[in-house]
C-alpha cells in the first residue's frame, strides 16, 4: 500500500483560503533474506527455510511458504520479522 500526501488549497477572489491535508503512511514490505540449509543435500534431507522480512510501517507481518509437493512446518518462537519452517526435500 502506497500513497502521497495531498494538500488541497481553496481560495476566493478576496484572498480568503482554506486547506485540507491528508497523510497516509507509506507502507512497503521487503524480504531481506531467504535461505535454505542445507541447499544441496541428498533427497529426503530435513532442511530449514529461514526468511527475514520488514515492513516500513512497522505493522505486524505474516508469511507463508509454498512449493509443489513440499510440506512446510512453521517453527514457532521466532523474532519479529523472522520466519522459519522445517521441510524435507
Partner 1 sequence: MPSATISVTVSDALGSTATGTTTVTAGGLTTINVGETAILTTLDNGNGNLLAAQPIVLTQDGTPQTLSFYANPVGGQLRLGIYSGNVPAILQAQTAAFTPVLGWNTQPVLTQPLLPAGNYWLAYLPASNTLGFRKADTGGTSYFKSPVTFGALPASFPSAPSTTTSHWSFYVTLAVTPPPPNVPIGIGLSSVSVPKPPNANTVVGAVNVTDSDGGVYPGQLVLGGTDAAKFSLTNGGRLPCSLVVGSTDIPVGNYSINLTAN
Which stretches of the chain bind partner 1, using CB under 8 A?
1, 25, 27-31, 34-36, 38-45, 47, 49, 51, 53, 55, 57, 59-70, 83, 89
| CB nearer partner 1, residue 23 or residue 38 | 38
CA–CA distance, 54 with 80 (Å, rounded to integer): 9
The closest of 9, 61, 10, 4 to 31, measured between CA atoms, is 61
Of the pair 69, 79, the CB lying nearest partner 1 is at: 69
Quickly list DSSP for 12-37: -TTS-EEEEEE------EEEEEEEEE
Closer CB to partner 1, residue 15 or residue 69?
69
- Shortest distance in whole angstroms from residue 83 CB to partner 1: 8
Min CB(50)–partner 1 separation in Å: 10
3-state secondary structure of 58: coil
Amino acid at each position: 500500500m502506497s500513497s502521497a500526501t495531498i494538500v488541497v488549497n481553496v481560495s476566493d477572489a478576496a484572498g480568503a483560503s482554506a486547506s485540507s491535508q491528508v497523510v497516509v503512511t507509506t507502507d512497503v514490505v521487503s524480504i531481506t533474506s531467504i535461505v535454505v540449509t542445507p541447499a544441496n543435500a541428498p533427497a529426503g534431507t530435513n532442511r530449514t527455510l529461514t526468511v527475514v522480512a520488514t515492513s516500513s510501517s512497522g505493522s505486524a507481518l505474516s508469511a507463508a511458504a509454498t512449493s509443489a509437493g513440499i510440506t512446510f512446518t512453521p517453527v514457532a518462537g521466532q523474532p519479529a520479522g523472522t520466519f522459519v519452517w522445517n521441510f524435507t526435500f
